[in-house]
Structure 1
Amino acid sequence: MKLDQMRGGTNIDGVSDDAFAMPPGMRMRYDRPAPELSAYLTGYAIYAADDPAPMINWYLPSPAMISVLVEAGPVNVSIGNHRFGPLDRASLYGPTSRALRTETRTGISVGVGLSALGWSRLTMRSAGDFHNRVAPLSTVMGSALAKRLIDGLDALDDDAQIAPLLDGIFAPLFGHRHPRDDLIRAFTALSVTDGVIEMKDVAERLGVATHELRRMATRHFGMPPKLLLRRARFLRSFIRLMTAEGLADYSMIDSSYFDASHFLRDAGTFLGTTPRRFIASDTTFLRASLRARAAVIGTPTQALHGASASSLAAVPGLAQSEILRRHSNG
């Protein structure tokens, strides 16, 4: 797949080209997986850059993601004080609770977002083992999958072919139902529901003991429930501020925050700095990806990926009217 054949997402499902606007020499594209894969894969992200000079970008904390590099220079990643790289052609980014910094050069990066349910069906490994880590995909999910992804993407000559290729590779891999399938689906729905922050409340709604919820969340989501719920609350608030250019308007933060200082403490946890300093750093691709992902997939970031109505229906304590209201709000 050549850079000059990377068109940058033009006319995807009728989405305006403005959603994919990038500085010269940079392009991006988002695609939705096939409907039958949507419970397991949260989206396909393709980033491209022409300049061989090192480029720094920051990204928000997120669930697990598979990344495949095509004709790309060395890529290095920093998460907090940990450094990873140069990365393999096919890598697994584990679930993160810290913003990550990438140093990239020319080439194309293809990202495949994994839901917790997708993780549960792809590997027996605990997602908690890869919290805030990046590892070769072959060591986590096998060399066969890594090779199919690399060889398949190398053979393409048009970015419009990426989603069908990925659909075909992943479709046979999710057939084995996990024993905790229903609980994973239900907690996924609650974890992105506005106003849900207390682990005890979540455990009661799901009808499980708190220690069982903690074990399940660490195994499939990569971190304890409390941290996941805090991450979602922070990202909902931070993205509102970031996209509205209203960093001083703390009326937009989640109502469960006691005050602005409470929100800023979470910023230190999840960003490693203040919101203003983070946004002032290298966030070119991040800003563009928030806009493009929301236009194509419906939510600006993978960590807030919308739950389905059927998943919300599985959550005890949510009335049908509430389920429909939340689903209609994305």
Structure 2
Amino acid sequence: MHFFRSYFLLLILFSFQTQSQSKKYKIHTVAFYNFENLYDTEDDIFTNDDEWTPNGAQHWTKEKYQQKLKNLAKVISEIGTPENLNSPTLIGGAEIENRNVLEDLIKEPKLLPLDLGIIHFDSPDKRGIDVALLYQKKYFRPTSYSNIPLIIYKKEIPKREEQIEVLDDEIEVKRENKNRVFTRDQLLVSGFLEDEEIHIIVNHWPSRSGGEKATSQFREAAGKLNRKIIDSLQQINPQAKILTMGDFNDGPLNNSIKFGLGAKGVKTEVGEFGVFNPFEELQNKGLGTIAYRDSWNIFDQIIMTKSLIESDFSTYNFWKAGIFSKPYLIQNSGQYKGYPLRNSLSEAGFSDHFPVYIYLIKEVAK
């Protein structure tokens, strides 16, 4: 059975009817999932992870950690089914403590057959959480990758007496240490999906801790950095195929997405170097990936350049997007009934976010 499935999925073919004519396509699923506090049980003296230890506030034991890995592996292996029987080719992840937890994750029985590669960097986030990209080695070959820091500051003017006491360059050093908001880097990965070059940016933008309005400036800065990365790739190749994915901590209609990044929710409105956000339509339908006070929003999104929404499927292009919200991922009782089934003191859940995905398809000869 495993041999048949592997052989069948080597080409990842599916069919559908278009104008009464049968066509065949290759399909790849691209996914993003906020793993929600994927910590090991060890205390890292350099980060604020104390609560995620056996003696910490979360009572994070080895048994809970292992169950968390099993839970995440089940979800990752199933995202995008049944339209594509194969698991995702590319998986962006967030809230990851270190590379070790990813090494443990890809060894889980449900993921081991996928032979997943890992691209990860440690970021300066005070909680010690990072972003990463997992990929199926048989379909994707990375050629370069880098972590691009988001350097932002709290707005605070030094006191007059402090300015008198120190030189200008010392003021800047003091400002760096005191006012900088340490957050996740943006991960840029370039490589080949089969024989086609593609670029992926994995994000986890600054949170709303402290209030949505008070922290909006930080996510708007993240959007502008994202746009700068995309612009730099398009200067090299105007037709570059670029996906930016992540937990943006903002929805499709917030300023960071609409203006910082410049994303459009309607294909016909996307300009020559613009970007398209298919999750805006899903939000307009009332869907969500995260709930707060019974209000749903789509913080988790996969956004793409115009080069991926062309109608010509002779190369890989966007087909459709979705939110993976199977019943087993949903809390079925209590105060948070209907919400994503997250970690709790009594059990290692899945995540407080639902994962999202898109399909990339290409027509193949019959």
**Which structure has the highest strand share of the two?**
2
**Which structure has the highest helix share of the two?**
1
Higher RCO (Cα < 8 Å, 6 or more apart) = 1
TM-score band, normalised by the shorter chain?
under 0.3
| Greater C-alpha Rg | 2
